[in-house]
């Protein structure tokens, strides 16, 4: 969960390296660095903190050179500091790395015993020393890389430059993604298509175990055994425009506002509005007796929403588990189980490992994934893409609602295929789902009210979110979003569970946000809300017009559009995201890149 870039060009590359790192900053942002071959010699600049710190360093102390590598870091081994920032050097070699070298302690001990001196606390530095040691013993650069890779355990995407090699950047991947980008008289390797997006949209996605050598004109790719291989070239949709903030202050704000479009784009892939049914290709449920969802964070909450809806509408049992737990126990799986991984990035290490665990046991796998060329998208048997477009803010918003759109489509398709609903009911559900983009757009119009609410809530130390049914996972998602955006401690609880413990947290300064659409659970939720009021808890109730009419006078009410129950999660996602966004902005946090987080969590 760092970002890497390597460039061979015919003019100075430091500007391009920094531009690429700007695109990659979502992957990590506690330090950054670049190294180039300047007049044939290695030179580097590094800085602790956001990329801007490195940009400032480079502007006062420019770096020349037509061959270079760059890195933006999310610390795993070694504190975020300039000394631990990549690139790491040893002799003629400079290396940037995304991943974790698990056997670095033993490798480092060997290297130190043979006289290598280390300057950082990172796992990565061993890679630079190992390549250097191989070069010193006479190996050519690619041989030195290969012999090093053969001894590494763990996950890596690497970019390497070597002093004296003025037309070469080497790269390798195992467990972490790496792409090759083809320019005109310049070539690139980078963590993803966004990294090379400013320079080219012609891309090769390296396969697990591949390593590569690029020069100004071409790329030579080898598989893990060292065989020269061809990998397909793709022309990716030009995403340059999509990754600009446009008129918005933050990517988070932009991405929240993109949800009418992102949900529409996703719907268009799964719903046939003319036939009034899910598209035929969505999923054949024959032989599937159970779904096992694995996911992390926000994607997990999308899965939980999916569980409620799929079990309710399609009658298919759905188990769901946090991927980091699933992979380290022995879940009981039967052959009729379809494992469904949900992930925006398609690279989350725990989710990927859970998917692989199921594949290895012969189970069918599907991935609901936003990054369509990601490892999960390539490894799952069935790919159910979300079409939210690149999500740059570290906090997931539009990918979350797109995941729910896919899950609702699956619920309808499963229900129909299993004969749980008739054609008329299927058409009704489809009509309701097709309302989602319009109702999400309408919900966005409450933003001013939420901005005012944020002014009042921003000084809180703790907040509670309550909901029943589908609003329970939504309450947990609202709490997660708020923690990330504002560093306010928040919890999402099932409203009915309050009295079993969390109610002890209620006092007159802890705001409680209650999600209460006027459905069959409304009265139950109101009872829980009254329990909070009775204990002087300040309550904000998010509800529709009918719910507002029945709201107790003590509560502050935010009214969202009245939607069909089927899509309430999509409607209520919007106020929750806006609360998190506006409280974060009021508090002055960096909502796009909150502390300690990274967008793509490719470590355990
Ligand atoms: C929350 C958030 C994270 C991710 C989680 C999974 O706003 O963004 O909780 O949802 O890290 O990431 P993906 O979906 O890429 O697997």
Q: Which of 294, 348, 399 to mutate to test the pocket of ligand 1 (most atoms within 8 A of CB)?
A: 348
CATH code, domain with 401: 3.40.50.10490
* Strand pairing class (88-90; 179-182): unpaired
Judge residue 433's burial from the number of C-beta atoms within 10 Å of its C-beta, 0-12 exposed, 13-18 middle, 19 or more buried.
buried
The DSSP 8-state label assigned to residue 320 in this structure reads E
Instruction: Indicate whether 132 and 226 sit together in one domain.
Output: yes
601, 603, 604: residue to mutate for ligand 1 pocket, most atoms within 8 A of CB: 601
Q: How far, in Å, from the CA of 366 to the mean position of ligand 1? A: 18
pLDDT at 292: 97
- Examine the domain organization and report whether 576 and 602 are in the same domain: yes
Residue that finishes a domain, picked among 240, 261, 277: 240
Query: Among 74, 297, 322, which residue has the most ligand 1 atoms within 8 Å of its CB, making it the best to mutate?
Result: 297
User: For ligand 1, what atom is nearest to the CA of residue 395?
Assistant: 7
Report if residue 181 sits inside a domain: yes
Orientation of helix 398-417 relative to helix 259-270, angle to 10°: 30
235 and 257: one domain? no
Report in angstroms the alpha-carbon separations of 125 from 7, 119, 168, 372, 533: 21, 8, 20, 32, 57
Atom of ligand 1 nearest to the CA of 348: 16
Residue 412 shares a structural domain with residue 458: no
Asked if residue 439 is part of any domain, the answer here is: no
Q: What distance in angstroms lies between residue 344's CA and the mean position of ligand 1's atoms?
A: 7
Q: Report which of 6, 195, 4, 32 is spatially closest to residue 97, judged by C-alpha positions.
A: 4
What number does the ligand 1 atom closest to the CA of 298 have? 10
Q: Whose CA is nearest to atom 11 of ligand 1?
A: 297
Residue 490 φ then ψ, to 5°: -145, 150
Expressed in angstroms and rounded, the spacing between residue 299 Cα and the centre of ligand 1 is 6
Q: Which of 299, 349, 354, 604 to mutate to test the pocket of ligand 1 (most atoms within 8 A of CB)?
A: 299
> Do both 303 and 423 map to the same domain?
yes
Residue 440 belongs to a domain: no
Query: Which residue's C-alpha comes closest to atom 7 of ligand 1?
Result: 395
Q: Is 331 left (phi over 0), alpha (psi -120 to 50) or beta?
A: beta
Answer yes or no: is 266 within a domain: yes
In a domain, 580, yes or no: yes
Regarding whether 335 and 450 lie in a shared domain, the answer is no
- Domain edge (last residue) among 411, 434, 457: 434
CA 409–ligand 1 middle distance (angstroms):
21
- 289 and 382 housed in the same domain: yes
- Closest atom of ligand 1 to CA, residue 399: 14
Return the residue whose CA atom lies nearest to atom 5 of ligand 1: 297
Domain boundary among 434, 455, 483: 434
In the structure, which protein residues have their CB atom closer than 6 angstroms to any atom of ligand 1?
296-299, 343-345, 348, 351, 395-396, 480, 484, 601
| Chain mean position to CA 181 | 22
Cα–ligand 1 centroid distance for 266 (angstroms):
19
* Ligand 1 centroid distance, CA of 396 (Å): 6
Domain co-membership, 478 together with 341? no
Q: What is the pLDDT of residue 79?
A: 83
**How many angstroms separate the alpha carbon of residue 74 from the centre of ligand 1?**
15
Residues 6+ apart with CB under 8 A from 188: 5, 6, 7, 20, 180, 181, 182, 195, 196, 199, 200, 214
Q: Do 25 and 77 touch, CB atoms closer than 8 A? A: no
Could you report the average pLDDT of every consecutive run of 10 residues in the chain (604 residues)? Answer: 93 96 85 93 94 96 97 84 94 94 94 95 96 97 98 94 97 91 96 90 91 97 96 76 73 94 92 88 93 97 98 97 91 93 94 95 96 90 94 95 98 96 96 94 94 95 96 98 96 93 89 96 93 89 97 95 97 98 96 83 67
Of 53, 94, 51, 55, the C-alpha closest to 73 is 51
Question: Domain containing 93 — which CATH number?
Answer: 3.60.20.10
Coil, strand or helix: which one is 335? coil
Question: Total domain count for the chain?
Answer: 3
Q: Are residues 35 and 91 in the same domain?
A: yes
Residues tagged active-site? 2, 599
Query: Between the CA of residue 379 and those of 196, 421, 510, what are the distances in Å?
Result: 23, 33, 45
What pLDDT, on the 0 to 100 scale, is given for residue 241?
A: 39
The confidence score (pLDDT) of residue 604 equals 67
Q: What distance in Å separates the CA atoms of residue 433 and residue 294, rounded to the nearest whole number?
A: 24
Question: Distance of CA 446 to CAs 264, 437, 440, Å?
Answer: 20, 15, 11
**Structural domain containing residue 137:** 3-240
297 CA closest ligand 1 atom index: 9
pLDDT of residue 154: 87
The answer to whether residue 364 is domain-embedded is: yes
Same domain, 328 and 279: yes
Same structural domain, 253 and 379: yes
* 467: in domain: yes
What pLDDT does residue 423 have?
Answer: 95
Q: Are residues 34 and 120 in the same domain?
A: yes
In a domain, 430, yes or no: yes
């Amino acid at each position: 969960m760092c970002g890497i870039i390597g460039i061979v060009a015919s003019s100075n590359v430091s500007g391009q390296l920094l531009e690429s790192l700007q695109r990659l900053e979502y992957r990590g942002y506690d330090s950054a660095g670049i190294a180039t071959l300047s007049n044939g010699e290695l030179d580097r600049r590094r800085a602790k903190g956001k990329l801007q710190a490195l940009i400032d360093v480079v502007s006062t102390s420019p770096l020349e050179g037509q061959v270079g590598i760059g890195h933006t870091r999310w610390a795993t081994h070694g504190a975020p500091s300039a000394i631990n920032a990549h690139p790491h050097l040893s002799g003629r070699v400079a290396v940037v790395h995304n991943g974790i070298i698990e056997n670095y302690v033993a490798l480092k001990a060997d290297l130190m015993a043979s006289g290598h001196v280390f300057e950082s606390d990172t796992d990565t530095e061993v890679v630079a020393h190992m390549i250097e040691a191989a070069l010193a013993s006479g190996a050519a650069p690619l041989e030195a890389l290969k012999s090093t890779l053969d001894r590494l355990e763990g996950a890596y995407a690497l970019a390497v430059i070597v002093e004296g090699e003025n037309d070469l950047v080497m790269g390798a991947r195992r467990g972490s993604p790496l792409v090759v980008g083809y320019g005109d008289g310049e070539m690139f390797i980078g963590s993803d298509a966004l990294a090379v997006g400013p320079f080219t949209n012609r891309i090769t996605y390296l396969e697990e175990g591949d390593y590569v050598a690029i020069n100004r004109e071409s790329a030579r790719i080898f598989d893990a055994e060292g065989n020269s291989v061809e990998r397909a070239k793709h022309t990716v949709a030009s995403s340059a425009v999509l990754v600009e903030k446009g008129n918005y202050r933050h990517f988070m704000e932009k991405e929240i506002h993109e949800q009418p479009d992102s949900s529409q784009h996703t719907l268009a892939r799964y719903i046939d509005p003319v036939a009034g049914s899910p598209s035929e290709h969505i999923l054949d449920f024959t032989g599937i007796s159970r779904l096992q969802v694995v996911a992390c964070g926000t994607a997990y909450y999308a899965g939980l929403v999916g569980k409620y809806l799929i079990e309710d509408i399609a009658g298919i049992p759905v188990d769901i588990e946090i991927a980091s737990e699933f992979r380290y126990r022995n879940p009981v799986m039967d052959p009729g189980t379809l494992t469904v991984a949900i992930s925006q990035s398609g690279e989350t290490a725990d989710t990927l490992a859970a998917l692989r665990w199921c594949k290895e046991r012969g189970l069918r796998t599907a991935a609901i994934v936003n990054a369509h060329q990601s490892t999960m998208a390539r490894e799952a048997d069935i790919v159910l893409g979300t079409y939210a477009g690149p999500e740059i803010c570290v906090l997931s918003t539009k990918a979350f609602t797109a995941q729910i759109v896919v899950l609702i489509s699956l619920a309808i398709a499963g229900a129909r295929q299993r004969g749980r609903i008739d054609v008329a009911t299927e058409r009704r559900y489809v009509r309701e789902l097709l309302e989602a983009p319009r109702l999400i757009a309408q919900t966005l119009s409450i933003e001013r009210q939420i901005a005012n609410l944020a002014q009042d809530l921003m000084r809180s130390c703790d907040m509670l979110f309550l909901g029943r049914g589908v609003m329970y996972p939504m309450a947990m998602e609202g709490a997660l979003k708020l923690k990330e955006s504002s560093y306010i401690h928040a919890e999402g609880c099932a409203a009915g569970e309050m009295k079993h413990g969390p109610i002890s947290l209620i006092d007159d300064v802890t705001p409680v946000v209650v999600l209460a659409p006027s459905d069959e659970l409304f009265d139950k939720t109101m009872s829980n809300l009254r329990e909070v009021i009775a204990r002087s808890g300040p309550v904000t109730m998010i509800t529709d017009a009918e719910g507002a009419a029945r709201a107790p006078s003590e509560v502050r009410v935010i009214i969202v559009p009245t939607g069909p129950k089927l899509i309430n999660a999509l409607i209520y996602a919007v106020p929750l995201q806006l609360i998190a966004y506006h409280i974060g902005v009021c508090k002055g946090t960096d909502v796009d890149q909150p502390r300690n987080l990274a967008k793509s969590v490719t470590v355990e």
